[in-house]
Amino acid sequence: MGYFLLRTICIAIVRLLLALHGGSRVEGSAHVPRTGGVLLCPNHISDFDPPTVGALVPRIVWFMAKSELFSMRFLSWLLPRVRAFPIKRDSADRTALSKAEELLKAGEAVIIFPEGGGNAEGTLQPLHPGALLVALRAKVPVVPVALINTNKVLPYGAIKLQRSPRPVTVIFGEPLDFSDLYGKKGAVEEATRRLTERLAQMLDQPIPEGKPQKHD
């Protein structure tokens, strides 16, 4: 099955599921550059986050996804065909990071969830620096993405969709330009700090403290 046909089918299914389970709305679509390399960094509160972003983002995207998914029978077939590639979580997976960098330099849009995984509390967690390292190396803008209520449709750890009392909301923020950090010492840490603050602001949540969580 061709990519564009499969993508169209997947988007239609996800949008139908959203409509049947409380609806959805999108804000800030104009903030996503329609051409050129761009990294999109959403918060992560549900396993329904990746399909939601993929169905509502206004351009074709690539996904970085946890390697465990690629060992599941159906997903091992589907994910590569919808432009997802694996990363070994909680490790410096150079292969995955290099793949993301190459795509960005080639003018593609890539989605990386910088928290590295979801959490039962549904709150923003400290970000892993790998996503920002890739953005700085590829010299591309970063679009923060706030996902709200996806965990009402599919709670953390659940496998059955539920009806949300409020629509799932996807907010695409203004792109963050890190050109002032290129080649500077501490650039990754500063870029991570800026993205963390922006996501916390968009989600109306406190800035998370501590080290990034592991998701074994």
Question: Which band of pLDDT confidence, cut at 50, 70 and 90, is reported for residue 24?
Answer: very high
Nearest Cα neighbor of 114 from 191, 204, 172 is 191
What is the structure's pLDDT at 216? 54
The more confident residue out of 152 and 212 is 152
The mean pLDDT value for 176-193 works out to 97
Task: Report the candidate in 195, 189, 161, 163 with the shortest Cα–Cα distance to residue 176.
Answer: 195
Query: Residue 95: which residues within 8 A CB-CB, separation 6 or more?
Result: none
| Count of beta carbons in the 10 Å neighbourhood of residue 16 | 11
Is the pLDDT reported for residue 91 higher than 70? no
Confidence of residue 15 (pLDDT cuts 50, 70, 90): very high
Q: What is the mean pLDDT of residues 146-157?
A: 95
User: Per-residue confidence at 156, pLDDT binned at 50, 70, 90?
Assistant: confident
Q: What is the pLDDT of residues 44-74, one digit of tens each?
A: 999 999 999 999 999 999 999 988 888 888 8
| 34-48 tens-digit pLDDT | 999 999 999 999 999
Q: How far apart (Å, rounded) are the C-alpha atoms in residues 17 and 135?
A: 32
How far apart are the C-alpha atoms of 38 and 20, rounded to whole Å? Answer: 31
pLDDT, averaged across the chain: 94
pLDDT one-digit tens code per residue, 194-208: 999 999 999 999 999
The reported pLDDT for the residue numbered 1 is: 65
